[in-house]
């Protein structure tokens, strides 16, 4: 029961981040499982199995709030599913030690990207006259699906950030469409893991159940937040936590000396604090700019 509650909380928080930012459930959940000593392939399989339920709930919630562009979903889903099958097959065939380094490195880089993306970079501009096409979305889905299933996370950081950066779709519809397409990715990865890991004993269904229940409960809340909450601070905070956790895992694997450990961690903590500060400052600046524009518009209307 304790395991169910613990991972239920982890799943709730992970889905809250994912549903609001369009990324983070797999990366956050996989990081948690690895930190508790779960084998990389089993961690990836557990997260993907739980996400079958959470992505369905998330997609349905985003559809209810009209955050989904179904043409984008269709172009992302099939390539994403094929990439997920390939990634699940690859990570399941790796030796446990190498797989842990591979997965932790991928998660560290994805967390670093999320932190930098939301703290320091522009989040993309809406370009309504240039929609994303299949030639753009197909390779994006293939790469995102492979990274996601081979590491237990990465669909959102790859697909969401690329679409936001392209400026070809309204941000809330980027988040909703990527979340809806992820259902096909997680189903494909889960089926592959089921057959590949069928002979292995190690899948803890209490963990899967906890992640699933917590994620399903958080999905509608996260979909609402996607419409109303500025994502910068949440993205910077989540990215920093993912970076610090996976840095600890990597440093432990390579038997880093205490001096190296402390030096690396101090640098990463400083980056995290700087990122959160920059994110808060950006949110305040954006509010001031919007207020100034609204004031100018009001004055123009009053003068006219």
203-257 pLDDT tens trace? 667 788 888 888 888 888 887 776 666 667 777 877 787 788 778 778 877 888 8
Q: What's phi and psi for 58, nearest 5 deg?
A: -65, -45
**pTM of the model as a whole:** 0.68
Q: Give the pLDDT confidence score for residue 81 in this predicted structure.
A: 95
Q: Are the C-beta atoms of 68 and 203 separated by less than 8 Å?
A: no
CA-to-CA separations, 94 to 98, 110, 196, 202, 270, in angstroms, rounded: 7, 20, 12, 16, 34
13-33 pLDDT tens trace? 787 777 766 666 777 788 777
Helix, strand, coil in percent for the chain, rounding step 5: 85, 0, 15
CA-to-CA separations, 43 to 28, 48, 91, 148, 211, in angstroms, rounded: 11, 9, 11, 12, 11
Pick the more confident residue, 131 or 289: 289
Distance CA 112, CA 116 (A): 6
Q: Maximum CA pair distance of the chain?
A: 76
Q: Give the pLDDT confidence score for residue 123 in this predicted structure.
A: 56
**Picking from 1-5, 85-89, 279-283, which range would have the lowest pLDDT averaged per residue?**
1-5
5-14 pLDDT tens trace? 878 888 887 8
84-136 pLDDT tens trace? 999 988 888 877 667 778 777 887 887 888 788 778 876 554 444 466 788 88
159-210 pLDDT tens trace? 876 776 666 777 778 888 988 999 999 999 988 988 887 655 556 677 888 8
Reduced to 3 states (helix: H, G, I; strand: E, B; else coil), residue 125 is coil
Task: Find the DSSP H helices in 197-230.
Answer: 205-228
Distance CA 160, CA 238 (A): 15
| Per-residue pLDDT at 145 exceeds 90 | yes
Provide mean pLDDT across the span 26-52: 80
Q: Give the pLDDT confidence score for residue 10 in this predicted structure.
A: 80
């Amino acid at each position: 029961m304790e395991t169910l509650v613990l991972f239920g909380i982890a799943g709730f928080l992970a889905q809250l981040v994912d549903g609001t930012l369009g990324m983070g459930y797999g990366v956050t959940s996989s990081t948690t499982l690895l930190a508790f000593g779960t084998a990389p392939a089993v961690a990836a399989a557990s997260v993907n199995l739980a996400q079958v339920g959470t992505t369905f709930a998330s997609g349905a919630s985003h559809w209810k709030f009209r955050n989904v562009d179904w043409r984008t979903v269709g172009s992302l889903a099939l390539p994403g599913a094929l990439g997920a099958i390939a990634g699940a097959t690859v990570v399941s065939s790796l030796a446990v030690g190498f797989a842990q380094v591979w997965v932790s490195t991928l998660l560290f880089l994805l967390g670093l990207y999320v932190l930098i993306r939301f703290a320091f970079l522009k989040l993309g501009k809406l370009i309504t006259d240039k929609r994303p096409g299949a030639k753009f979305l197909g390779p994006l889905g293939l790469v995102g699906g492979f990274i996601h299933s081979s590491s237990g996370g990465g669909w959102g950081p790859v697909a969401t950030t690329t679409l936001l950066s392209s400026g070809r779709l309204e941000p809330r519809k980027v988040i909703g469409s990527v979340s809806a397409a992820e259902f096909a990715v997680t189903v494909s990865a889960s089926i592959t893991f089921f057959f590949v890991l069928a002979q292995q004993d190690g899948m803890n269904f209490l963990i899967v159940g906890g992640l699933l229940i917590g994620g399903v409960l958080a999905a509608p809340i996260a979909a609402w937040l996607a419409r109303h909450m500025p994502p910068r601070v949440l993205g910077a905070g989540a990215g920093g936590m993912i970076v610090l956790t996976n840095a600890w895992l990597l440093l432990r694997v390579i038997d880093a000396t205490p001096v190296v450990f402390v030096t690396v961690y101090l640098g990463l903590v400083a980056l995290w604090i700087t990122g959160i500060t920059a994110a808060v400052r950006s949110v305040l600046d954006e509010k001031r700019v919007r207020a100034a524009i609204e004031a100018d518009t009001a004055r123009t209307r009053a003068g006219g």
